[in-house]
Structure 1
Amino acid sequence: MADKAQVWSARTPGLIPAISFLFRRMVRRPLQLIAVMVAFLLLLGHSTQVQAAPYAAMVMDGRTGEVLHSRNANTRLHPASLTKMMTLYITFEAIRNGELSLDTKVQISRNAAAEPPSKLGLRSGQKIAVRYLIRAAAIKSANDAATALGEAVSGSEAAFARRMTRTAKALGMTKTTFKNAHGLTQKGHLSTAHDMTILGRHMLYDYPEYYNLFSRRTADAKVRQVANTNRRLLGSYKGADGIKTGYTNAAGFNLVASAKRGDERIIATVFGGKSSASRNAKVAELLDLGFRRAPTHAKLRRPSRPSYQGNKGIQVASSEPHDGRAGKTIRVNGAVLKSLRPKSRPESTVVVAIADETPEQDDDALKASIDAAITEATLETAQATNEDLNDAQIIAAVASVSSALPTVSRVQPYRGGLRPIARPANIETAAVAPEPVVVTRLSSSGGRYWGINVGRYTNRFKAEKVLLKTALTEMSTLSGTLRKVVKSPRGFDATFQGLSQDRAELACRRLAARNLTCRTIGPRS
């Protein structure tokens, strides 16, 4: 043993004296020694936590939903920033159903601004459009942007988390529970590789108009340009086009990835990677496995999108900045459980209105009495500004107004059996003058007589392919139009017809912003 030590010492001259010198110096400075030891223990603990994160994986044929590989896929684990897929999914749902738009300005709360990194760097009170928050959450995985989106949709992060969990159950993610919008570790905030794979597939097919976000290497997030956290896999794996990365100490390195080659689409999910590089390598291996096992041709079976429920059972708070606490929910227990069938009216009964024998009131007196009753009821209600109104109080307030109103008339049955007077036979009808005919000229600017041309191609197939791709890219302005390939001596023109002039010009501007060819086609004279 001594010989080995001597040989090692000979091979590393000067190392032992150096270590001895450093140790003696540290002993003289105990605070430095303690600091070094604490840092070493923290580093050791960090490394142990990452390595201890459980591993889980799933591979799915994106076209059919068939599971091609699974390992610990139903084990509930920490999803980390994979959570933001659900945050974005619900945001897209809210936009589609008119709860907000891409241009809606969101005022950043203190709660959102205080989120830890990764973050965009939003300030409390700052206003920013939804489109930039979406880019920051999807591409940079910004926690402050994710929280701001949740608060914009549901009023508070807690209310949004409840909507996230409810949506997860509707999608078939039976073992997922969300507690926040960003994915930082929190008790009870858990999901599985199986559930996250399902969410990735729904993201692809339910909102294809937004899916291109996940393949962008960089994006403008208003505050600054942001880079994609998944850019290494996107740049190294053929056909990769998404979707979302995630990392925390408790979760390890997570990733839901998707790749398309020809007609084949594979989705692979990994939980608990030891590093981003090893995780990416494992995902690439799983994607390869998926492409080997998936059939070359398979009939597309799109997943069913859940029915829209919005913020069901949630009171959406105002747009003013808040501290992230959920607003109070008011539920009314007055639902009608059964609708009674009305009884038939006797055939011989004739109903007429008979005025009560009450003193006549002029219009001014009647209006004054009504205003007085309403004012009195309003003042009584205003005294309880900080209290919830229960059913009894509401009924009492309504009764106070109703009792103060004067009785005008009532309906009583009359059983005299009156017959209607016969119509005279000699009624003269006045001649009706013919209505003048109004001739209008259709407007070529406001009517749907315009179109756009998105290119000329050598064959019909290419033109139709471009039309379909363009329609999916610009659904908002081209919905309801007619896609038509027009053959000409010089080729096949891909056109959209049935637009107004304004919509045609808007569509061309939006397509030009995407570096796509477009020119407007005016109405034929």
Structure 2
Amino acid sequence: MPKFLQTEKIEKMSLLKSPLKLFASALLGTLIALPAHALETPAKQVLLIDHDTGAVLFEKNAEERMYPASMTKMMTAFMVFKQLKNGTLSLEDSFPVSKKAWKKGGSKMFVEVGKRVNIEDLLRGIIIQSGNDATIVVAEGISGSEESFAKEMTQTAREIGMFDSQFRNASGWPDPDHFTSAKDLAILASETIRSYGDYYHIYSEKEFTFSGIKQSNRNPLIRGDFDGADGLKTGHTEASGYGLTASAERDGRRLILVINGLDSQKARAVESERLLSWGFREWNRYPLFQAGETVGDAPVWLGQTGTVPMIVKKDILLTMRRKYRDDLKVSIRYNEPVPAPIAKDSILGTLVIEAPDMDTIETPLYAAEDVPQLGMFGRLSAAFEYLLWGEN
């Protein structure tokens, strides 16, 4: 555990000179994001993030409005996952196929009008086969109409922080009022993985056969066996270009990539693989402190104990460029000494994290325990000693 000098207001240290306690955390309370670095790509919109820390590894027009095309189907599947988790639906439930669903053009699951299809098959038809027909079956089955379902999609998007998205249909069929952003799709992907792990595995399945027709997963990273790839969804229309929301995990690190506006399937495959490989190669995660861990001890004035431990309340995990690891600096800032009484969980100072080419990160430090004030005699004695001997 890193130690700080107790007689100074700020004591800096290199983390390479002190051991770190390694720990695993699936979801961190403290998300530390660093600025993205320059990287060239022909894609019009890109966002590459670390799923666990929220760190932005690279971005290009990430908040720009764009057409999601079939990446919309991630939101449609999300709506189904939500109802499966809360018990409103089960995988064995089924929905009828309307004439509208059966007639829908574009990519298809090849459902048959008048028949019923179970939820499990419909999910695979949406995710693996990118079936526009399957999305309409789900939309009508859940909300009565695709229009009502699209409104619910937009409302759910707002609830999870997708504030730059508006949905007009369940499939991503071209509509000028149907839009999103790379940032929003990354939020959706991350929330899908975090909240619906029981169903997320469908995104990694390579093929699905329905009505005797076998179709392959359209995700080039899944088809190409890219190391660690396990999702999510492609998209393409003339207006949107070729896009992909992807995720891959290696050695416990998960990256999420949203890329859009490319001019071919080949470019989509090449760029998605290149950017994810760059993210895994050039960046790493560094655990700094666990929630509740003592960062330093602050001297106490007129307290029943001479010092009080300062702790972080949340795990601190930093995602940064590997080449800057040696220059990582951590310091604590506080007013010394801290006057008693001190209440447990009161903020005593700040943990400051600095490294080249990143914004300074600051997070509060809290008192780990109560420190009562000395009694009258003790305070008088301490004051006398201070006047006699000065500060020790």
TM over 0.5: yes
In structure 2, what residue type is equivalent to 1:165? T
In structure 1, what residue type is equivalent to 2:270? A
Structure-2-length-normalised TM-score: 0.61
Q: Does 1:79 align with 2:68?
A: yes
Aligned to 1:278: 267
In structure 1, what residue type is equivalent to 2:274? E
Structure 2 residue matching 1:186: 3-state secondary structure:
coil
Structure 2 residue matching 1:164: 3-state secondary structure:
helix
Q: Does 1:170 align with 2:141?
A: no
Rounded Cα–Cα distance in structure 2 between residues aligned with 1:289 and 1:171? 28
Residue 112 of structure 1, aligned match among 90, 98, 101: 101
- Indicate if the aligned counterparts of 1:234 and 1:241 stay in contact, CA closer than 8 A: no
The aligned runs of 1:96-135 (5 Å cut-off) are: 96-135=85-124
Aligned to 2:205: 216
Q: Does 1:203 align with 2:184?
A: no
Rounded Cα–Cα distance in structure 2 between residues aligned with 1:240 and 1:277? 17
Rounded Cα–Cα distance in structure 2 between residues aligned with 1:248 and 1:100? 32
Rounded Cα–Cα distance in structure 1 between residues aligned with 2:71 and 2:189? 9
In structure 2, what residue type is equivalent to 1:206? S
Structure 2 residue matching 1:187: 3-state secondary structure:
coil
Rounded Cα–Cα distance in structure 1 between residues aligned with 2:286 and 2:211? 42
Aligned to 1:406: none
Shift of the alpha carbon at 1:233?
4.7
Q: 1:233 to 1:55 in 2, by over 3 A?
A: farther
- Indicate if the aligned counterparts of 2:70 and 2:130 stay in contact, CA closer than 8 A: yes
Q: Kindly tell me the number of residue pairs found equivalent between the two proteins.
A: 249
Shift of the alpha carbon at 1:246?
0.6
Q: 1:241 to 1:297 in 2, by over 3 A?
A: farther
Rounded Cα–Cα distance in structure 2 between residues aligned with 1:221 and 1:85? 20
In structure 2, what residue type is equivalent to 1:136? G
Structure-1-length-normalised TM-score: 0.46
Q: 1:132 to 1:60 in 2, by over 3 A?
A: same
Rounded Cα–Cα distance in structure 1 between residues aligned with 2:109 and 2:288? 41
Shift of the alpha carbon at 1:109?
1.0
**More helix, by proportion:** 1
Aligned to 1:436: none
Aligned to 2:219: 230
**More strand, by proportion:** 2
- Indicate if the aligned counterparts of 2:43 and 2:259 stay in contact, CA closer than 8 A: no
Shift of the alpha carbon at 1:221?
3.4
Aligned to 1:190: 179
Residue 232 of structure 2, aligned match among 243, 247, 252: 243
- Report percent identity of matched pairs: 35
Aligned to 2:126: 137
In structure 1, what residue type is equivalent to 2:146? E
- Indicate if the aligned counterparts of 2:233 and 2:244 stay in contact, CA closer than 8 A: yes
In structure 1, what residue type is equivalent to 2:207? T
Shift of the alpha carbon at 1:105?
1.8
Larger Rg: 1
For structure 1, the 5+ residue unaligned runs are 1-52, 302-525
In structure 1, what residue type is equivalent to 2:65? R
Structure 2 residue matching 1:291: 3-state secondary structure:
helix
Q: CA RMSD in A?
A: 2.0
Structure 1 residue matching 2:246: 3-state secondary structure:
strand
- Indicate if the aligned counterparts of 1:85 and 1:244 stay in contact, CA closer than 8 A: yes
Rounded Cα–Cα distance in structure 2 between residues aligned with 1:82 and 1:144? 15
Rounded Cα–Cα distance in structure 1 between residues aligned with 2:147 and 2:269? 33
- Indicate if the aligned counterparts of 1:100 and 1:153 stay in contact, CA closer than 8 A: no
